Amino acid sequence: MTNTLHINYKQITSSKLLDNLLINFPLWFPITYIFLALNFPSFTKILFIGSLFLFAETHFASTWLFFFDKENWAWVKTNFYKVIFVPIYILGLTIIAWLFSPSFVVLAHYLASGWHVTRQSEGIMKLYGVKTKIYTWIVYFVSFLCLSVGIKQPGLLASKVDINVINILICFSLVLYFLILYLNKLGKLSNILVYSLPILTGISIYLPILFFKDLFTATAIGVGMHWCQYMALIFSSYLRKKSSVGENQNYSSNYSRLAFIFSYAFLMTSLAVMGMPKINTENSQYSFIYIIPLLFQLYHFYIDGYIWKFSDPHIRQSVYRYLYKPSNN
């Protein structure tokens, strides 16, 4: 077996730059978040809630676009048992488990999220042509090593460093990051580095857990890249499909979808904030209301295993067919 990176020049968004910013290498998100969190600590809670609303819950809401597509209704009916009945049964058991031990359910959700996020990292690597198994296993190993630390002792490698030193490192990181994007846009980045970008992204998602003691902040910093990737994939393929069937000028439909996504995100963010422990406090108790967004998130983790399963003929026709930007050739 060879460890060669398999090159795939297919583009997903409307431009190569957007591909790199939102899917392939969205490192701008954690760098920006770290800068804001460290330099404006009094706004940590606002920063987290803003990220939850604008990125996390909007990414969860975007899943429902699949069910708004009439082309998928027959598939849902055919697969009713596994996409509707089984998850309802599992979610019912989750509610019962919550009544006995909320902490167990939160832990199970945390691990399910880690599996879901890392599976997406693997999928994105494949979309960009990185199909060698060793790189996939490296991403899984690093991710679950960090998750294991996060469960037991978040911020294990945290240390007090002068904020000015950190800011210098952040500036250097941003310069290096945009230099990589610029060289890639010009086609002057080596192939091995170009196709290492999604691997580096996958490895980086859970690294913040090692350096930040606040698990909320640590998760948002890294998983924010996952949220960006998911929404870019969803909206690129969704709009491309609508354009191909002549519905791209149906503005009322587009606005109604956006209204749903942001309304859903606002509701779920509100319930999550009301139900979760207060950020930066010793309180670790979750309110029962927290289980509402948690259940919808668990369904998102579950259903994504089916609506992105390209071995399914319907999914290949309804989703994968519109995933890449058509070639100009």
Q: Which residues of the chain have pLDDT under 70?
A: 1-9, 246-251, 279-284, 328-329
Q: By the 8 A CB rule, do 5 and 195 touch?
A: yes
What pLDDT digit, counting tens, does each position of 64-97 carry? 999 999 999 999 999 999 999 999 999 999 999 9
CA 295 to chain centre: 17
Q: By the 8 A CB rule, do 103 and 82 touch?
A: no
Taking the C-alpha atoms of residue 157 and residue 197, their distance in angstroms, rounded to an integer, is 24
Give alpha helix (H) positions in 40-101: 44-51, 57-62, 65-68, 73-78, 80, 86-100
Q: State the pLDDT at residue 10.
A: 81
With the CA atoms of 261, 264, 266 and 267 taken in that order, what torsion angle do they form, in degrees rounded to the nearest 10? 180
Q: State the pLDDT at residue 125.
A: 93
Q: State the pLDDT at residue 130.
A: 85
Q: What is the pTM of this model?
A: 0.91
Q: Where are the domains of the chain?
A: 16-322
Q: State the pLDDT at residue 250.
A: 61
Q: State the pLDDT at residue 279.
A: 58
